[in-house]
Homo-oligomer: A and B are copies of this chain.
């Protein structure tokens, strides 16, 4: 029996190249969960094979900017001329239904989310050492030395953001990291601040 019926907003972030996407996929492949992935909204053109509402919600620049003004994003960013954002209404609908909404986002977006929803669960995914991350950034593709160097610099700045998160999880092995995140989700539901209301109902007492 769970004492908190509302879903949790779970923010998975960490330095570039740490493997956020891989861990998120491993997390969704675990049994017995009610995790949902938050579909982002974007102004970029739909690509062949993409489905509106599954891959992204595709909207015009005008609509996106109106939504910004109306405070309808949990976080958003501009990237090479296009907007990308997390629609707040969709997140809340899912949380009300009791689903855990997982956001896998960059460090900057994660800080926006924590400000807007302080009761989210924020997880900073880290490599087992700096060198491991540098090696990954280096072997990722065929980018020039200059681009690799930019990524290393970015990762170095992002490393220092750990203290703003609720939890630090080492991505030493992808399934271990996913396991730890699942344990965090279970533990957070049992936290007194999240479970005391239903508990007091259960035992038929008014809160004091």
Which residues of A are at the interface with B, using a C-beta cutoff of 8 A?
Answer: 1-3, 123-124, 126, 128-130, 159-160, 162-163, 165-170, 172, 179-180, 182-184, 186-188, 190-192, 195-196, 199-200, 202-205, 207-208
Which of chain B's residues has its CB closest to A170's CB? B1
Q: Cβ of A195 and Cβ of B183 under 8 Å apart?
A: no
Known A-B contacts A190-B180, A192-B124, A192-B162; the reply to A129 vs B168 at CB < 8 A is: no
The number of times this chain is found in the oligomer is: 2
Q: Which residues of B contact A162 (CB under 8 A)?
A: 192, 196, 199-200
Which of chain B's residues has its CB closest to A155's CB? B203
| Shortest distance between the CB of A195 and any CB in chain B (Å) | 5
| Shortest distance between the CB of A80 and any CB in chain B (Å) | 30
Q: Cβ of A187 and Cβ of B192 under 8 Å apart?
A: no
Q: Which residues of B contact A183 (CB under 8 A)?
A: 182-184, 186-187, 190
Q: Cβ of A165 and Cβ of B192 under 8 Å apart?
A: yes
| Shortest distance between the CB of A204 and any CB in chain B (Å) | 6
Q: Cβ of A167 and Cβ of B190 under 8 Å apart?
A: yes
User: How many Å lie between the Cα of A176 and that of B128 in the bound state?
Assistant: 31
User: How many Å lie between the Cα of A3 and that of B176 in the bound state?
Assistant: 13
Q: Cβ of B167 and Cβ of A199 under 8 Å apart?
A: no
Q: Which residues of B contact A167 (CB under 8 A)?
A: 187, 190-192, 195
User: How many Å lie between the Cα of A172 and that of B184 in the bound state?
Assistant: 20
| Shortest distance between the CB of A95 and any CB in chain B (Å) | 20
Q: Which residues of B contact A1 (CB under 8 A)?
A: 128, 170, 172
